[in-house]
Chains A and B, each alone.
Chain A
Amino acid sequence: MNPLSRGLLRFWLGAKLGRTTPPAPGNAVPVTFPLDRVKIATVQWNAEPVGAVEDWSRRVTRFFEEAADTHCHLLAFPEYMPLSLLGVVMPERTSAHTLTDATIREVLGALAPPSFRFWYRWMSSLSRQYHLVTAAGSALTWDRGRLVNTGIIFDSQGQERVRQGKWHLTPEEIRWGVAQADSPPSAPLSPWGLTTLVCNDATYPESFRLIASQGARIAVVPIADADARYTAGKARRGCFSRVQDVPMVGVVSAATGRLFGLHLTGKAGIYLPAPLTDDGSGVLAESHLSVGEELISGVISLDRLAWYQERYRAEHPMPPTDFLTALYGAEGDH
C-alpha cells in the first residue's frame, strides 16, 4: 500500500465518520457518586465490522441508555472499540480477512487517527449526556510516532481522567506494528481508585501490583481475545486470577465475533476476591455466552473490599524489598 492509498483510505474513513456526530451535550450537571456501593455495568460487544457508522453509534448509545436506566455509575467497554468502524471502508465481503500482516499494519496505522477521534468524541459526549463514568475501552492512537493501544476513562462530565497504554502486547499486535507503552501507570480516578489495564496486561500479576501501589481499587480490563475456542480455564487466567492474588475489583469488558479474519471470544464479567462473593466463586456477574452482545451489571462494596484488603495483607505480606529487588533487578530483560 503506497502513501497515496493510505492517505485516501484515511480521508475516506474520516469523511464517513464525520457525517455522524454525537448528540450535543447539555449543561454540565454536578453528579454525586457513592463512596461505597458502586453499581458497575460492563459490555460484551459484537465487534464484527459495521456496514454503516450509525449501526455502531446506535448500539453504543443503547448501552449508555440501559446503564443509565438501571442506575449504574460506571460503564465499561472492550478493547479495540473503534475497530469495527473500519467495516464502513473495508467490508468483510472484500476479502478483508485475507489481508497479510504487512497490509494490516499499514491499514491500522493509517486509520488509527480518524477512528480514534470518532471513538473519543462519542464516548466523551455520551458520558456527559448520561452522567456515567465511562471506561471507554481501548483504541489505537499515535503517540510520539508509535502506534499504541490505549485505554481511556472519562468522568461523568466527559472529561478524560485516565489514559493508559498497553504494556504487554500479544504476538499479533507486535506483527501489526503496535508498540508497547512505556508510560508509568496513570493515577486512578478518585474516589473509587478506578483505572484500566488493557487485555494482556492482566496476564501479569506485576501490573496489578503496580496499579495497586498507585491506589487502584477497581481495575477495568477491556479485552479482545483472538481465540476461537473459549474455555473457562483460559478466561480465568487474566483478571479473575489477578484479583484473587492482588485483591481489588476486576471488571472485564469483552469484544467478540469475527473481525477481519480473527475470531474473538470472551465474556464480560465483574470479579472479586472469592471470599467477597456470596457463593465463594469470585464471580459477581458474568455474561452467559462467549459470543454476542450483552450488558451485565453488579453492585460492589468498596468498604468491604477495604476490610478484606487489610486482612489479606496481614495474611499474605508482600515479599521483602531485597527479594523483589533481586527478582526484578536482574540484568537483561524477559
Chain B
Amino acid sequence: MAELWVVRGAELPPPAAGYDLTIWETADLPSETQMRTWAGWAETHLLAGNPASVLTGFEPRPDLWPGTDFALGGGKIWRFNHRFVAWLTPALYQIPEVPRALALAGVELMIGSRSTSVGDPALDPLWRAAQANQVFGLALGAEPVLYLPCEIDPAQEGSMPLAAEPGGWRATLRFEELADARRLLPVLPGLRMSFYRENGWWHS
C-alpha cells in the first residue's frame, strides 16, 4: 500500500509526514535544490512534472532514482518503493502499445494530465490504458481522479475521486490488489504474444 499526496497549486505546501510519494503538477519545475530541501525535510519522495511531461524528481533514499527510460525518452519512468511509475502525456497513452509496453515492463502507476474534465472517464486515454493493462492511473488536473481496474473498484466503474487534504488530495494505492484484478480477469496472461508476433500488423 502507498499513500500519495497530490499537491494543489503553484507553490509547494509545507512538508507533511505520512505520505510515501508526493506528486506535483506545476508549470514551473522546481530547482534541484528546492526539491532536495523539501523532500529531504519531509523524507518523502517528490515527483514534479509539467503538463508537457517534463519531469524532475527527488527521493531522500535512492532506489534506482531517477528512473529508466524504456525507450520513451529519459525521465519518464521513475521508481519508488520498488514500484515503477510512468508520467506521460495523454497523447502517448492513446497509442495502446505504449502503455502495454510500460505494463509488461512492470509499471504499475501511470500518471498524466486529465484529458477530459467532465463526462465519461472512458473518453480519457489514461482510463483506457489503466483498464487494458490493469494498472493504476492518476489523472491530474483541477479535480484529479484515480483510475483503477474495475475488478478492484467497489463501484466497478474503474474511477474514483481523490480525498481532499490540506494542500491537495490523498490517494491510497493498494498495489497488491492489482494481482487480484489480474487473477479475476487475466488480461496480460491471455495476451498471446506469439500469436501477435506471427500475425503482427506492423508487417503489412
Interface residues of A (CB under 8 A from B): 167-169, 171, 180, 182, 184-185, 200, 203-206, 209-210, 212-214, 229, 231-234, 236-237, 240-241, 244-246, 274, 280-282, 315-319, 321, 323-330, 332-334
**A281 and B120 contacting across the interface, CB-CB below 8 Å:** yes
Contact of A180 (CB < 8 Å), options: B159, B189, B192: B192
Task: Kindly specify which of B33-41, B90-98, B138-146, B166-174 makes contact with the partner chain.
Answer: B90-98
- Closest chain-B Cβ to A325's Cβ sits at a distance in Å of 7
Cα(A219)–Cα(B156), bound, Å: 26
Evaluate whether A319 and B153 lie within 8 angstroms (CB atoms) in the complex, with A167-B192, A206-B191, A233-B158 already known: no
**B125 and A244 contacting across the interface, CB-CB below 8 Å:** yes
Cα(A16)–Cα(B128), bound, Å: 46
Closest 4 CB pairs of A and B: A233-B157, A205-B96, A213-B201, A236-B122
Task: Give the residues from 69 to 90 in chain B that come closer than 8 angstroms, CB to CB, to chain A.
Answer: 71
User: Is B188 part of the binding interface, using a Cβ–Cβ cutoff of 8 Å?
Assistant: yes
**Chain B interface residue count: which class?**
35 or more
**A241 and B131 contacting across the interface, CB-CB below 8 Å:** yes
Residue of B nearest to A321 (CB): B202
- Closest chain-B Cβ to A286's Cβ sits at a distance in Å of 12
**A245 and B128 contacting across the interface, CB-CB below 8 Å:** yes
Contact of A241 (CB < 8 Å), options: B122, B186, B190: B122
Task: Give the residues from 169 to 204 in chain B that come closer than 8 angstroms, CB to CB, to chain A.
Answer: 185-197, 199-202, 204
**A319 and B98 contacting across the interface, CB-CB below 8 Å:** yes
- Closest chain-A Cβ to B200's Cβ sits at a distance in Å of 6
**A319 and B95 contacting across the interface, CB-CB below 8 Å:** yes
**A334 and B188 contacting across the interface, CB-CB below 8 Å:** yes
Contact of B100 (CB < 8 Å), options: A205, A214, A333: A205
**A236 and B120 contacting across the interface, CB-CB below 8 Å:** yes
Q: What residues of chain B lie closer than 8 Å to A282, measured between beta carbons?
A: 120, 122-123
26 A/B residue pairs, CB under 8 Å, sorted by A: A168-B192, A171-B186, A204-B132, A206-B191, A209-B201, A210-B201, A212-B201, A232-B157, A233-B122, A234-B157, A237-B122, A237-B128, A244-B123, A281-B120, A281-B123, A282-B122, A282-B123, A315-B91, A318-B95, A319-B98, A323-B71, A323-B101, A324-B97, A325-B200, A326-B71, A328-B193
Contact of A182 (CB < 8 Å), options: B100, B188, B190, B195: B195
**B200 and A328 contacting across the interface, CB-CB below 8 Å:** yes
- Closest chain-B Cβ to A114's Cβ sits at a distance in Å of 30
The interface centre, meaning the residue of A236, A282, A315, A318 with most chain B CB atoms within 10 A of its CB, is A236
- Closest chain-A Cβ to B106's Cβ sits at a distance in Å of 13
Evaluate whether A184 and B202 lie within 8 angstroms (CB atoms) in the complex, with A167-B192, A234-B150, A330-B193 already known: no
**A316 and B91 contacting across the interface, CB-CB below 8 Å:** yes
**A324 and B200 contacting across the interface, CB-CB below 8 Å:** yes
**B159 and A233 contacting across the interface, CB-CB below 8 Å:** yes
Cα(A57)–Cα(B185), bound, Å: 34
Contact of B104 (CB < 8 Å), options: A315, A323, A334: A334
**A318 and B202 contacting across the interface, CB-CB below 8 Å:** yes
Cα(A209)–Cα(B187), bound, Å: 17
Q: What residues of chain B lie closer than 8 Å to A168, measured between beta carbons?
A: 190, 192
The interface centre, meaning the residue of A169, A185, A205 with most chain B CB atoms within 10 A of its CB, is A205
- Closest chain-A Cβ to B127's Cβ sits at a distance in Å of 8
**B158 and A334 contacting across the interface, CB-CB below 8 Å:** no
- Closest chain-A Cβ to B149's Cβ sits at a distance in Å of 9
Cα(A324)–Cα(B160), bound, Å: 32
Q: What residues of chain B lie closer than 8 Å to A180, measured between beta carbons?
A: 192
Cα(A182)–Cα(B194), bound, Å: 11
User: Is B14 part of the binding interface, using a Cβ–Cβ cutoff of 8 Å?
Assistant: no
Q: What residues of chain B lie closer than 8 Å to A236, measured between beta carbons?
A: 120, 122
Residue of B nearest to A212 (CB): B201
- Closest chain-A Cβ to B7's Cβ sits at a distance in Å of 28
Cα(A200)–Cα(B185), bound, Å: 10
Besides A316-B95, A324-B202, A334-B189, 12 new A-B residue pairs in contact (Cβ under 8 A), listed by A number: A182-B195, A203-B132, A205-B100, A210-B196, A213-B201, A213-B202, A232-B157, A233-B150, A318-B97, A324-B97, A324-B200, A333-B194
Q: What residues of chain B lie closer than 8 Å to A204, measured between beta carbons?
A: 132, 187, 191
Cα(A230)–Cα(B127), bound, Å: 18
Cα(A167)–Cα(B96), bound, Å: 19
**A245 and B191 contacting across the interface, CB-CB below 8 Å:** no
User: Is B17 part of the binding interface, using a Cβ–Cβ cutoff of 8 Å?
Assistant: no
Q: What residues of chain B lie closer than 8 Å to A318, measured between beta carbons?
A: 95, 97, 202
Cα(A62)–Cα(B99), bound, Å: 44
Evaluate whether A245 and B96 lie within 8 angstroms (CB atoms) in the complex, with A328-B193, A333-B192 already known: yes
Residue of B nearest to A230 (CB): B156
Cα(A317)–Cα(B158), bound, Å: 27
Residue of A nearest to B201 (CB): A213
Contact of B121 (CB < 8 Å), options: A171, A233, A328: A233
Evaluate whether A232 and B120 lie within 8 angstroms (CB atoms) in the complex, with A205-B100, A245-B96 already known: yes
- Closest chain-B Cβ to A27's Cβ sits at a distance in Å of 39
